[in-house]
């Protein structure tokens, strides 16, 4: 890869990168993580759900930090926040970018998404304070509503940016209280009817790299500091409603019951059975939410609503698994004498990331003297959606114990700082690359 810039030979460029990287401060990253963690609902861990006032408050904190550094900050119609450092070469208008998200799952951790945002803030700071030359604009993005915990669909802000979700779609997805994404956005001052204006143009971007915690324990187990992600798992999500008859537990004989929970339980067990058979090696199926009504100890469950999350690195197998589950659930409900409704609430294909960016991240880690490994991501990310717009890479840093989406989620500020150094070297290499051609050089 030719990454030398006119007027700046490779050795000089590498020295400039090293000088900037030397300014990275783990304690500043730790403070940033803590500042965001304070913006939460009461209770264990961090609860900052998509399209709530708390999420917008976190975005405002990001904007304040970036404005203080002299960057220009804008917020698009669907709530994505973008801070920009201008480039130094008029002929290089396609930007390099980085960032992640600030919303969380209920009672989640303080690092999922936030580590990537704090790394973006630290990258901007050292770029400004070091005065490191850049030819392209550098953009730092906080995507809105990445977590699917509230509305079922993950990565809403980045899906809109990639043209995968439209204004019409925003009225169809609702939370457990029946509030649509459209209504939730309007409540916090956003413009769901103008979602089309938030779509990114490929010509405006040279590449995007997201830093994220691993959310597993592969790096920790193998003693590696950096993961260069080469593929991101796909995800298909179902909302399943099972309706039987709610009646008295003592007065209704077992053979006359239409127990919605028994039928739903059989569906859950069928999901596990399917995911663990030899053909589905690498498939993951999870029932993460199960709501039982009326929820009385003396009443047979008359209605159960549950979610199913199907993940796979094989796109065809992912969709075949979803179809097989739907057939199985339908058969189970018929045998149990209950009614069933199955709705697809999310469907994202696996994405293979460009080898050029995977190698660039690996090279940057090697230059930093950091042990790395190329690896897949089992979780979905904003980078997965943005790959539809521009070449996209991902940097993983270790998660202690492999824990994520729980209060015990933890990554060290030193590891985030190490990932930030790799991020800066990777972005700087793209910045110094050849002419804008819509591809990472």
Write the CATH number for 313: 3.30.70.360
Structural domain contains residue 355: yes
pLDDT at position 11? 65
Structural domain contains residue 284: yes
Cα 324 from Cα 320, distance rounded (Å): 6
pLDDT at position 15? 83
Domain that holds residue 368: 12-233+351-432
pLDDT at position 6? 39
ω into 294 cis (within 30 of 0): yes
155 and 19 co-located in one domain? yes
Q: Which of 348, 366, 385 is the last residue of a domain?
A: 348
How many other β-carbons are positioned within 10 Å of the β-carbon of residue 334? 12
Q: Which tokens belong to 7?
A: 């007027």
344 and 355 co-located in one domain? no
Q: Which stretches of 188-314 are DSSP H helices?
A: 218-222, 260-275
Structural domain contains residue 3: no
For 174-224, the DSSP string reads: B-TTS-BHHHHHHHTT--GGGGGGGPPPGGGEEEEEEEEE-SSSHHHHHT-
281 and 227 co-located in one domain? no
Total structural domains in the chain?
A: 2
Structural domain contains residue 97: yes
Cα 181 from Cα 170, distance rounded (Å): 5
Rg of the chain in Å (alpha carbons): 23
Cα 414 from Cα 425, distance rounded (Å): 17
pLDDT at position 365? 97
76 and 196 co-located in one domain? yes
334 and 411 co-located in one domain? no
Note the residue count of the chain: 441
Structural domain contains residue 438: no
344 and 356 co-located in one domain? no
85 and 178 co-located in one domain? yes
pLDDT by residue for the chain (441 residues), tens only, comes to 333 333 344 566 678 899 999 999 999 999 999 999 999 999 999 999 999 999 999 999 999 999 999 999 999 999 999 999 999 888 789 999 999 999 999 999 999 999 999 999 999 999 999 999 999 999 999 999 999 999 988 999 999 999 999 999 999 989 989 999 999 999 999 999 999 999 999 999 999 999 999 999 999 999 999 999 999 999 999 999 999 999 999 999 999 999 999 999 999 999 999 999 999 988 999 999 999 999 999 999 999 999 999 999 999 999 999 999 999 999 999 999 999 999 998 898 999 999 999 999 999 999 999 999 999 999 889 999 999 999 999 999 999 999 999 999 999 999 999 999 999 999 999 998 855 544 444
Structural domain contains residue 61: yes
Given the structure tokens 């179809």, which residue do they identify? 323
The reply, when asked if residue 112 is annotated as ligand binding, is yes
The reply, when asked if residue 405 is annotated as ligand binding, is yes
The reply, when asked if residue 248 is annotated as ligand binding, is no
Structural domain contains residue 439: no
Q: Which of 313, 348, 383 is the last residue of a domain?
A: 348
Cα 98 from Cα 60, distance rounded (Å): 18
Structural domain contains residue 220: yes
Contact 157, 79 (CB under 8 A): yes
Helical packing angle, 413-431 and 26-37, nearest 10°: 110
146 and 48 co-located in one domain? yes
DSSP 174: B
172 and 250 co-located in one domain? no
Given the structure tokens 């408050």, which residue do they identify? 57
The reply, when asked if residue 366 is annotated as ligand binding, is no
131 and 221 co-located in one domain? yes
Query: Domain containing 206 — which CATH number?
Result: 3.40.630.10
Bridge partner residues of 291 (DSSP): 305
397 and 413 co-located in one domain? yes
The reply, when asked if residue 11 is annotated as ligand binding, is no
Q: Which of 318, 348, 378 is the last residue of a domain?
A: 348
380 and 311 co-located in one domain? no
């Amino acid at each position: 890869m030719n990454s030398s810039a006119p007027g700046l030979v490779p050795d000089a460029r590498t020295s400039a990168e090293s000088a900037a990287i030397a300014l990275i401060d783990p304690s500043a990253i730790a403070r940033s993580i803590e500042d965001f963690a304070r913006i939460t609902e009461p209770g264990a861990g961090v609860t900052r759900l998509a399209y709530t006032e708390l999420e917008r408050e976190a975005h405002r904190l990001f904007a304040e930090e970036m404005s203080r550094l002299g960057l220009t900050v804008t917020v698009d119609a669907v709530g994505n926040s973008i801070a920009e450092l201008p480039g130094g070469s008029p002929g290089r208008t396609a930007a390099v970018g980085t960032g992640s998200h600030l919303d969380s799952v209920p009672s989640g951790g303080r690092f999922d998404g936030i580590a990537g945002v704090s790394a973006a803030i630290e990258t901007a700071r050292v770029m400004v304070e070091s005065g490191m030359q850049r030819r392209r604009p550098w953009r730092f993005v906080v995507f809105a509503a990445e977590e699917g915990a509230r509305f079922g669909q993950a990565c809403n802000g980045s899906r809109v940016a990639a043209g995968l979700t439209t204004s019409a779609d925003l009225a169809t997805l609702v939370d457990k209280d029946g509030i649509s994404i459209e209504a939730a956005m309007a409540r916090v001052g956003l413009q769901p009817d103008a979602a089309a204006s938030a779509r990114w143009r490929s010509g405006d971007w040279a590449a995007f790299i997201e830093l994220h915690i691993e959310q597993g324990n592969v790096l920790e187990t193998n003693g590696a500091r950096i993961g260069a992600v080469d593929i991101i798992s796909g995800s298909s999500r179902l909302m399943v409603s099972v309706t039987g008859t709610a009646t008295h537990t003592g007065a209704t004989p077992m053979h006359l019951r239409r127990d919605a929970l028994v039928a739903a339980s059989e569906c859950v067990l069928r999901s596990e059975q399917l995911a663990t058979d030899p053909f589905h090696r690498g498939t993951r199926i999870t029932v993460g939410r199960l709501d039982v009504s009326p929820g009385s100890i003396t009443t047979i469950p008359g209605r159960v609503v549950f979610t199913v999350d199907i993940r796979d690195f094989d796109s065809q197998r992912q969709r075949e698994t979803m179809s097989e589950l739907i057939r199985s659930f339908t058969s189970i409900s018929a045998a149990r004498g209950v009614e069933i409704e199955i709705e697809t609430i999310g469907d994202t294909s696996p994405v293979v990331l460009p080898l050029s960016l995977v190698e660039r991240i690996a090279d940057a880690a090697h230059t930093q003297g950091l042990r790395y490994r190329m690896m897949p991501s089992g979780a979905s990310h904003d980078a997965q959606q943005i790959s539809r717009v521009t070449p996209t890479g991902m940097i993983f840093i270790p998660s202690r114990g492999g824990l994520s989406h729980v209060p015990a989620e933890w990554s060290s500020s030193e590891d985030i700082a190490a990932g930030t150094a790799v991020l800066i070297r990777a972005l700087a290499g793209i910045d110094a690359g050849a002419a804008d051609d819509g591809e990472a050089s």
